Amino acid sequence: MRDAVAEAACRLAAAGVDSAGADAAVLAAHVLGVPRDRLALAGGFDDAQARAYADLVGRRAGREPLQHITGVAYFRHLALAVGPGVFVPRPETELLVDHVLAEVAARPGRSLLVDLCTGSGAIAVAAATETPGVEAHAVELDAAAYAWARRNVEGTGVRLHLGEAADCLPGLDGRVDVVVANPPYVPAGTPLPAEVGADPACALYAGADGLDGVRTVAAAAGRLLRPGGLLVCEHDDSHGESAPALLSDLEGWTGIRDHRDLAGRPRFVTARRS
């Protein structure tokens, strides 16, 4: 088993996969049907498993996203169903969820949260399942992504809505405590790694400056949030100054701050509805 995984890791590294060793191990565990941390205790592959493993390694060497191959994306404590047609949640978004949960925990009583551009439902499901007393709504425009989100929100209490962020949930106007979003934010024409480029274009690109998604979220949040309510919006790491400036140019926002991810890169902006 150790030799098979090492050989696969070399093949993936030669194909330009940054996380070659980790991916080779994840694929081996997937073929064997065991958790990755139990892989060292597993026996070797039988012939059918060896063929299956070689096939999966070949797909990953072709730069098919690991999560599309296994059908799972791990996000905080969640194992989310993902595949072609939905944005694969990234670890850098997990810190944004910490900020949302801190806001909810600081408020007495039940909190009303809206997750715009929800994609797989990662943020809404994490918030709803990690903190009691959250009424979470998730909004997604794209039908393919919505289908994946339906699978992930099942049994979590999250209410999923198909529609535009711009005019969604008019019945909640002025009542929401937290609006959170990981909208499209890549400037048009930006070259992307093969794995990122496998995500739906509608979940990636946001106009010439990459801020069209942030503009849409800010407008929707301005309508939905109660006075004092919090907006938490992810952005591209090149938007550390432009995203806060965008909100500063709009009326009705106060306490605007930008925040960095665990790698020290600008990652999300927060602001309160005045």
Show pLDDT as tens, one digit a residue, over the chain (274 residues): 888 999 999 999 999 999 999 999 999 999 998 888 888 878 789 999 999 999 999 999 999 999 999 999 999 999 999 999 999 999 999 999 999 999 999 888 889 999 999 999 999 999 999 988 899 999 999 999 999 999 999 999 999 999 999 999 999 999 999 999 999 999 999 999 889 999 999 999 999 999 999 999 999 999 999 999 999 999 999 999 999 999 999 999 999 999 999 899 999 999 999 9
- Is the CA virtual torsion 24, 29, 35, 39 positive or negative? negative
Residue 39 has what pLDDT? 86
The predicted pLDDT at position 40 comes to: 80
- The pLDDT assigned to 201 comes to 95
Contact of 100 with 229, CB cutoff 8 Å = no
Looking at residue 38, its pLDDT comes to 84
Q: What is the pLDDT of residue 128?
A: 95
| Residue 158, pLDDT score | 98
Q: Which two tokens stand for residue 187?
A: 């400037």
pLDDT value for 202: 95
**pLDDT of amino acid 24:** 96
Which letter, b or e, does each residue of 212-240 get, where b requires 16 or more Cβ atoms within 10 Å of its Cβ?
Answer: bbbbbbbebbbbbbeeebbbbbbbbebbb
